[in-house]
Amino acid sequence: MKLVLSKLKGINNSILKVLYTGLKICFVLLLISTFILSLYHSIHNFDLFYIGMSLFRTSLFYIAFLCICTIGIDTIKKDKP
């Protein structure tokens, strides 16, 4: 865990800017998916449930993907001669 935290502290600012922008977009998608899922409770339409759950899973996947790619790209940039 300490290794991951130390890698996150030493990331380049331009890469962090892209990460923060991506995380903001994913957070907005998560809010939209929770709104759709709350609509499901009042309307009881299964299509809303599947759309909300798919959007929720996709947003969480992209958050993990952004974090992993950020560490990978920063490592590649630092290892370059």
Parent domain of 41: 13-76
> How far, rounded to the nearest angstrom, does the alpha carbon of residue 55 sit from its chain's CA centroid?
12
Does residue 4 sit within a domain? no
Task: Quote the pTM value.
Answer: 0.83
**pLDDT confidence tier of residue 79, bands split at 50, 70 and 90:** confident
Does residue 31 sit within a domain? yes
57 vs 11, residue with greater confidence = 57
3-state SS assignment for residue 40: helix
Strongest mean pLDDT among 3-12, 13-22, 24-33, 63-72: 24-33
- As a whole number of angstroms, the distance between CA 81 and CA 77 comes to 9
Does residue 37 sit within a domain? yes
**pLDDT tens-place string over residues 35-58:** 999 999 899 899 999 999 999 999
Does residue 81 sit within a domain? no
Domain count, the chain: 1
